Structure formats: C-alpha cells, structure tokens
Amino acid sequence: MRVVKAFTICLQRCFFSITIFMCLLTAFSVFANDASNSAWQKIQNQGKNQPVYFYAWGGDAQINAYIQWAAQQVKAKYNINLVHVKLSDTSEAVSRVLAEKSANNHTQGSVDLIWINGANFAAMSKHGLLLKDWADKLPNFIYTNPENNPSVLFDFGLPTQGMEAPWGQASLTFYYDTLAKSAPPQTLNELLSWSKANPGRFSYPKPPDFLGMSFLKYALMVLHQHSDAMLQAKLNQPATDENTAQVLDSLWAFLNKLHPNLWRSGEYFMQSGVQMRRLIDDTELSIGFTFSAPEVPAAVKRYDLPKSIRSYAMQDGSLSNTHFVAIPYNASHVQSAQLVANFLLSPAAQAHKQKPAIWGDKTVLIQTTLTAEQQALFKAVKPHPSALPLNSIKRTLSEPHPSWVEAINTGWEARYGTSQ
C-alpha cells in the first residue's frame, strides 16, 4: 500500500508540474503575441498620414498601373501617399542610397521602399544599405509559409535575413508568331539550329539590360546542366578571377555560334524588351521573350503584338526567381514603408496582382495558409489564347550567384560590345 500511495503522490506531483509548465508556456505565448500585436500597432500609429517614396522599375504599363492601384488602397487604409519613383534600372536607387551614406545622411534618405532582387540586393546588403530584421515580422508574412517555402528567404541564393519582403515570382517566358514558317525551338540547342535555319529572326537586348542578361543567364545555366558537380557549384559561388573563365567559356563559345545568325548579323543589339516587341510586331523577328508572362496577352490586347502570338516555356528549363521589396537603412518613413510592404503581401493585393488582366505576377502566398474566403480571391478566369498555358514550366532554373551578372556583362562587352 505504501508503494502504491507513494507512486500516486509522485504522479500527482508530476501532473502538477506539467500543468504549471503548460500554464507558463501558454502565458508566454500569449505575452509574445500581445507584444507582437503591440509592436505592430505602434508601427500602424506611427506610419499613418505619411508619404512613401517607392523606387521601382517603371518600364511596364501594367505594373505601373498596379502600383497606382496599390497607392489608392494604402491611401484609403492609412492615408499614406505612395509615390512611384520610376526607374529605368534599379541600380539608380542603389547608387542614390550609397551616395547618401557616403554623405553621412543616415536618417533622412530619399528612398523609403525599393523593388529589388539579385545583384542589387547583394550590393545593398554588402554595403549595409538595408534595414534588417523587419520583413519576417510583417503580419502577412505568415501566409508565405516560410518554413516550407525557402524561396521567400533567399534571394539568388543569398539569405534575406529579414531585409526583404517577398512580392512576387516570375520566370523567363518565350513567345512566337504562329504565322512563321517553322515551329519554335524548345531548347537552347534547338534555338541555335533554328537561328541558323532562320537567320535574322531572333536576337536579345544588349546587356546590362535586365532581359538581355536574363537570356544570357538562362543559356549559362542550361550549358552547365551536364557539367560535373564541382563546376556547377561554382555558379552558386561568387565570381572570381580564378573561376570566371572556367564557368563562362562555354557561354562565349555558344554566343560565337549564335551571333552571326542573329538580327542584323549580331553586329547591333536592341536596347530593351519593348524594342524586341516592336520588332516582332513589325515581323522583323519571329521569337521574343519576357520575364513577365502576362506582358504578352496584354500587348496583344493593346494591338502591340499580333493575335497570332503564342507563349511557351523552354523544355530544358525556365530561369525563375522571386522579387522583393526592401527598406533602405536610412529611409525617412520606415514605419509607413512597412505598412505598404505588408499591404503588398496581403491576400487581396496578391490576388489582384496575379490576375492576367492586371499584372499576372505569380503570388508568393501559399494557398493552404489562407482561409476559404481568401483562396476564392485567386480563382482564375479563362486565360487569353496568347497567355502561357497553365503548368507549361516543367523545369525551373535557379539564378546564379549575383556576382555573375557583372562577370557576364564585362566579358560580353569586351567580346561583342565594341561594334555597338
């Protein structure tokens, strides 16, 4: 009996201890949530009634219109005046913040929010130009399911460390005129053969144009698909004097074969995707590409491209990445910028952005994290005939380390830029 009684007392004490532990754990959780809610409430209170200068590429009419829509929403919600400062290249904003830091302007910066990824993020992170540890604390960040969605935590292989809030995802998409005599190429090797059989009917924008650089990175990643593991690993490492030739020689060999059969025999290159689109509309080119798949049906609807245009994805892989918004370390309106970034992550804003007629930019939110009502916002309408067919992308290609952009641009300019 004494043994049973002692055992019973022991169980009671254990149960009491577990109960106390669970109560403390619950109390701590409640306290943490209250603290988080209180911190966000403070940001809301301080961020209202302020301007936000959003530095973002302004080269696409659809994207510009979406940003204006977002500006109307945050104006109504927070009385924030969101000003879209249109850039031809994101590096312009990077240079501005760097210049402000050099001038010891650490609190009154002109850039409050910046649309960014890749090499520009790497540069700003390297020079300490970004605000840290804020993005993953946004209330809407939880909808990205970061534990099972690492693409929102890494930018071209670099950890974001809370310096960027994900905004959307995109992939390199090709399009062609179905009235052309030959079927479009489905792989990089087929593109080489197709260009030889159809001289002057394809080209790409001159780097460092973003779209032109994207094509070169696509080619580089495909060319190394069957390289040994050690060489492939170098693509995810910084470019150096030692590894540049080893990695890029195959790209130069490919371009040496491709260029003689390009538009204007590869002696002159277009300056942008817009010019490429015009050349296709004028029937000078038969194949084009974009990093914004919805741009194609939108252009067809505007009569900037013919109705015979169709979109497709290369079967050997589609270069894909996530794009983000970030806040410079010296932003003048930090709290207001966080409110805008959180709104851009909201299910309503993400669903509106994903509509083909609006922008068509793929959402970064994971549907299983949303309520049924929120999921209903993403129900798709019947796509335009020229739109990229659903599930066309069978294989994605990750971006190489951001430092390869400069290495590719420098090598390209030395080899092919003198005739421009």
Q: How many other C-beta atoms are found inside a 10 Å radius of the C-beta of residue 272?
A: 16
Whether 249 is covered by a domain: the verdict is yes
DSSP-assigned beta bridge partners for residue 168: 323
Three-class SS state of 383: coil
DSSP-assigned beta bridge partners for residue 310: 176
Can you give the C-alpha Rg of the chain in angstroms? 25
Q: Do 310 and 338 belong to one domain?
A: no
What backbone phi and psi angles, to 5 degrees, belong to 89? -155, 135
Number of structural domains in the chain: 2
What pLDDT is attached to residue 420?
Answer: 52
Q: Do 367 and 406 belong to one domain?
A: no
Whether 383 is covered by a domain: the verdict is no
Instruction: Supply 37's token pair.
Output: 């809610």
Whether 354 is covered by a domain: the verdict is yes
DSSP 106-141: -S-BS-SEEEE-HHHHHHHHHTT-B--S-GGGSGGG
Q: Do 245 and 314 belong to one domain?
A: yes
CB 260 within 8 A of CB 269: no
Maximum separation of any 2 CA atoms in the chain, in Å:
100
Instruction: Supply 243's token pair.
Output: 């590894």
Three-class SS state of 158: strand
Q: Do 104 and 199 belong to one domain?
A: no
Give the residue ranges of the chain where pLDDT is below 50: 3-4, 7, 10-11, 14, 23-25, 27-32
CATH number for the domain including 264? 3.40.190.10
Whether 24 is covered by a domain: the verdict is no
| Residue closest to 329 by CA, chosen among 146, 117, 163 | 163
Q: Where in the sequence is the domain holding 219, given as residue range(s)?
A: 173-320+394-416
